[in-house]
Structure 1
Amino acid sequence: MQMNTDIKQHSHTERLFASATDVWQAMQEHRFVVDIERDRLPADSFARYLSYEGRFVETAMAIFGYALVKADTIAHKHWLIGVLNALSTEQVPYFERTLAALGLPASHIDAPLPVPVTAFDSGMLEIARQRTYEEVIVSMLAAEWMYGTWCTRANQTPSSNPFVREWVALHAEPTFLNQVQWLKDQVNGWSEQRFDFARSSAIFRKVLALEIDFHSACYAA
C-alpha cells in the first residue's frame, strides 16, 4: 500500500525516466555523443549521420502529422501545426544547406540505408500509425528529451566543426527545449486512467534503444 502511495508522488515523466535509466545512460554516453563533447567526431561520420537524419525529417513530419490528426483539443492541434511548420521551414532548409556545403552528391538521397537507420525510421512510423495519441507523444518525448539533454551539455563546449556546432546549438536553443517541455507537460497532465505506464514505458525504452543503434550506424564504413 505504501509503495503505491510513493509511486503517485512522482510525475509520469519521472516514472518513465526511472524505468529507462539504463538505456537513457547508454545513449548519453554513446560514442557519438562523447565524440562531439570531446570535439573528436570524425567528419565523415558526421556527414553520414546528417545524411541519415536528413532523410528522417520527412518521417518526423509524418509522425507529427499523425499526432495532429489524433490530438483531442484545438490547442494541441495548434501546437503540432507549429511543430510541422518548424520542421518544414527550419530543419529542411538546414539539411539542404548543410549537405550541399559538405559536398554530398545528390545520389545519397537514393542510396540504401543501414539496417539500424531503416529500423529507427520504420519503428517510429509504426508507433505513429498504429498507437494512440498518448503513445505517439511518449515516443517523441523520448527522442527529443534525450537530444535536448546531451545537446545542452555539449553546447557548453562548442565543437570546432561549424556544422557540428550548429547542429548541437539547434537542439539546445529555447525553441527546441520549449518543445521538450511541452511534451513533458502533455504527459504529466494526463490522469492516471489516461496514462498507461506499462505501454508508455515500453515505448520510451524502445525509442531510446532505436536511437542508440541509429547513432552507431554513422561509424560504419
Structure 2
Amino acid sequence: MTTHTIPTHSERLLAANADLWQAMQEHRFVIDIERNRLPADAFGRYLSYEGRFVETAIGIFGHALIKAPSIEQKHWLIGVLNALSTEQVPYFDRTVAALALPAAHRGQRLPAAVAAFDTGMLDIAQQGRYEDVIVSMLTAEWMYGTWCTRANRTPNDNRYIREWVALHADPTFSAQVQWLKAQVDGWSEQQFDFERSSAIFSKVLALEIDFHSACYEV
C-alpha cells in the first residue's frame, strides 16, 4: 500500500516558489562566497546595506511581538530581538570598524533595490497580520540558513565573511528557522491563507535577489 504524506504548509510554499528559491540559492553573491571569490569591495557594500537592515529587522520582529497572539510566542520573539541586538548589531559594529568602512547612516542614499527591500519588508510587518510577518521572516531566514549552512563547509580567506556565514549556520539561528517553520506548519487550514502567504514568500525572495545584486553596483 502506498502512503501519501501530506505536505506541510512550509513545504507547499517552498514548492510553489521553487524557481525563485533556486535563483537565490544560485545567486552570484552566494556562489562567490562558496567559491572564496567575493570581491572585498562588494562585501564592504553588502555590510553597509545589511547592517542597516538589521535595524529594520528589529522593527519587523517588534511588530511580530505586538501582534503575537500568545505569551509563548511573545517570549520567543523577545529572544529574537535580544539576539539581533546583542549578536548581529555588535558583529556589524566590530566589522565596520575593523575594515575601516564608512558607517551607514539613515540619511545616506541607498541603491533602489536596497531601499525597496528595506521598505518592502517593513511594510509587510506594519500593514500585515502576525501570520504575514512570520511568513516573510521565515522566507528570509530559511533562505539564509540554507545557503550559509552549505557555505560554512567551504573554506574562505576572509575571516569576516567566515564569521558572517557561521553566524547563520549556527544552531541558534537554525533553531530560529525551525521555530518560524513550526509556526507556519502549526496553523490550521482556516488560519493558513496559502495564496496570500505564497505571494509574500515570492515577494521576499524577489526582494532578496535584487538586494544581493546591489552590492556589485558601484
On whether the aligned pair clears a TM of 0.5, the verdict is yes
Q: CA deviation at 1:57?
A: 1.0
- 1:188-219 CA deviation, whole Å, 9 max, x = no partner? 00000000000000000100000000000000
> Are positions 1:125 and 2:119 aligned together?
no
1:143-154 superposed matches below 5 A? 143-154=140-151
2:164 is matched by which residue type in structure 1?
A: W
Contact 2:49–2:114, Cα closer than 8 Å, also in 1: yes
Match of 1:83 in 2: 80
Q: Percent identity?
A: 73
2:64 is matched by which residue type in structure 1?
A: A
1:159 is matched by which residue type in structure 2?
A: N
1:54 to 29, 51, 55: 51
> Are positions 1:197 and 2:194 aligned together?
yes
Structure 1: gaps spanning 5 or more residues: 1-5
C-alpha separation between the residues in 2 aligned to 1:165 and 1:158? 8
> Are positions 1:25 and 2:28 aligned together?
no
Count of aligned residue pairs for this structure pair? 216
TM-score, L = length of structure 2? 0.96
C-alpha separation between the residues in 1 aligned to 2:205 and 2:4? 23
Over 3 Å counting, the alpha-carbon distance change for 1:107 and 1:173 in structure 2 is closer
Q: CA deviation at 1:7?
A: 9.9
Over 3 Å counting, the alpha-carbon distance change for 1:7 and 1:46 in structure 2 is farther
1:64-79 superposed matches below 5 A? 64-79=61-76
Contact 2:29–2:212, Cα closer than 8 Å, also in 1: yes
1:202 is matched by which residue type in structure 2?
A: A
Over 3 Å counting, the alpha-carbon distance change for 1:107 and 1:165 in structure 2 is closer
Over 3 Å counting, the alpha-carbon distance change for 1:135 and 1:109 in structure 2 is closer
Q: CA deviation at 1:104?
A: 1.0
Contact 1:51–1:108, Cα closer than 8 Å, also in 2: no
Moved more, 89-98 or 99-108: 99-108
Match of 1:116 in 2: 113
Over 3 Å counting, the alpha-carbon distance change for 1:141 and 1:7 in structure 2 is farther
Over 3 Å counting, the alpha-carbon distance change for 1:43 and 1:97 in structure 2 is same
Over 3 Å counting, the alpha-carbon distance change for 1:7 and 1:115 in structure 2 is farther
CA RMSD, Structure 1 to Structure 2 (Å)? 1.4
Contact 2:20–2:205, Cα closer than 8 Å, also in 1: yes
